[in-house]
C-alpha cells in the first residue's frame, strides 16, 4: 500500500546550516520510526514558510546513503496569517505494510503545535 508519512519542524534562524540540519533530523526520524527504505519511497515533498530561503531542505536527503535516486521537490507553504514561523514540512510517499493508524508522523520543536491531536507527536523537543 502507498502511504504518506508527515513531518514538520522549525528553525530559529533563516540560515542554510539550520535549515539543512533540522530537515535532516526530521526526515531521519520519519524514516527510522517507520522503517522506510529508499527503494520503497516514491517521492518526497518539502515545503517551507515564506521566511525561509537560505537553503533547500531537500539537500538534507542527499546526506542519507541510498537516497540519491529518490525524487525530491521543494515548494513554498501557503502564507496563512498567524501561521507558525520558520517551519519546514515534509511529505514522504512510500510503499509500506503499515496500517494508517500505525504510521508515526514526526513533529519537532515548535511544530508540535501543528498536530496536538496526534498521540504520536514527538513533544520531547518542544520549545
Query: Any catalytic annotation for residue 33?
Result: no
Under CATH, what is the fold of the domain 2-114?
60s Ribosomal Protein L30; Chain: A; (3.30.1330)
Mean pLDDT of 61-87: 93
6 annotated to a ligand binding site: yes
Q: What is the share, in percent, of the chain residues with pLDDT greater than 70?
A: 91
Dihedral through CA 111, CA 11, CA 32, CA 91, nearest 10? 60
Query: Any catalytic annotation for residue 3?
Result: no
Q: What is the DSSP letter of 114?
A: G
Q: Output the CA–CA distances (angstroms, integers) from residue 18 to 34, 39, 99, 103, 108, in the order listed.
A: 24, 28, 33, 27, 14
Cell numbers that stand for 116 in this block? 496536538
Residue 7, pLDDT score: 96
Residue the block writes with cell 522549525: 10
Tens-digit pLDDT profile for residues 76-96:
999 999 899 999 999 999 999
Across 39-43, 71-75, 76-80, 117-121, least confident range = 117-121
Residue from 67, 77, 86, 87 carrying the catalytic annotation: 77
Mean pLDDT of 43-55: 97
Confidence bin at 118 (pLDDT 50/70/90): low
Residue from 15, 62, 76, 95 carrying the catalytic annotation: 62
- Cα gap 36→94, rounded to integer Å: 8
Mean pLDDT of 102-112: 93
Residue from 67, 86, 87, 89 carrying the catalytic annotation: 89
Mean pLDDT of 9-15: 97
Query: Any catalytic annotation for residue 101?
Result: no
Amino acid at each position: 500500500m502507498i502511504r504518506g508519512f508527515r513531518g514538520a519542524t522549525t528553525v530559529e534562524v533563516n540560515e542554510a546550516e539550520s535549515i539543512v540540519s533540522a530537515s535532516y533530523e526530521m526526515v531521519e526520524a520519519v524514516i527510522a520510526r517507520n522503517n522506510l527504505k529508499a527503494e520503497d519511497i516514491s517521492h518526497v515533498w518539502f515545503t517551507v514558510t515564506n521566511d525561509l530561503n537560505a537553503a533547500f531542505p531537500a539537500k538534507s536527503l542527499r546526506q542519507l546513503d541510498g537516497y540519491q535516486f529518490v525524487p525530491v521537490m521543494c515548494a513554498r507553504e501557503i502564507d496563512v496569517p498567524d501561521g507558525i514561523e520558520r517551519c519546514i514540512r515534509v511529505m514522504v510517499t512510500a510503499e509500506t505494510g503499515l496500517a494508517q493508524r500505525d504510521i508515526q508522523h514526526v513533529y519537532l520543536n515548535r511544530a508540535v503545535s501543528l498536530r496536538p491531536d496526534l498521540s504520536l507527536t514527538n513533544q520531547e523537543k518542544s520549545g
